Amino acid sequence: MQLTTSLGASATHLSRKHRALVALYTLDASQQPREEILRLNNVSEADVAEHEEEWLRLRCRNQLLT
């Protein structure tokens, strides 16, 4: 499961928050290097850290729904 797009984050209209969430899901599901995932989603470590708590809530919620 790969959530990054082949077009790259710069070709999308996603907000920084949504790019960070996509990066977090990709980091969780991927064997790609962390730096590459952050680069492809055009986010920093600070962006990922800022939205990690929300990502954890979303993961928990999605697991409860399945």
pTM of the model: 0.76
Residue 51: predicted pLDDT: 98
At residue 8 the predicted structure's pLDDT band, cuts being 50, 70 and 90, is: low
The predicted model gives 28-57 an average pLDDT of 97
**pLDDT on residue 7:** 44
Taking the alpha carbons at both ends of the chain, their separation in whole angstroms is 17
Q: Report the SS3 class of residue 38.
A: helix
Q: What is the pLDDT of residue 4?
A: 45
Cα distances (Å, whole numbers) of residue 56 to 3, 13, 21, 31, 49: 17, 23, 10, 19, 11
Local confidence band at 2 (pLDDT 50, 70, 90 cut-offs): very low
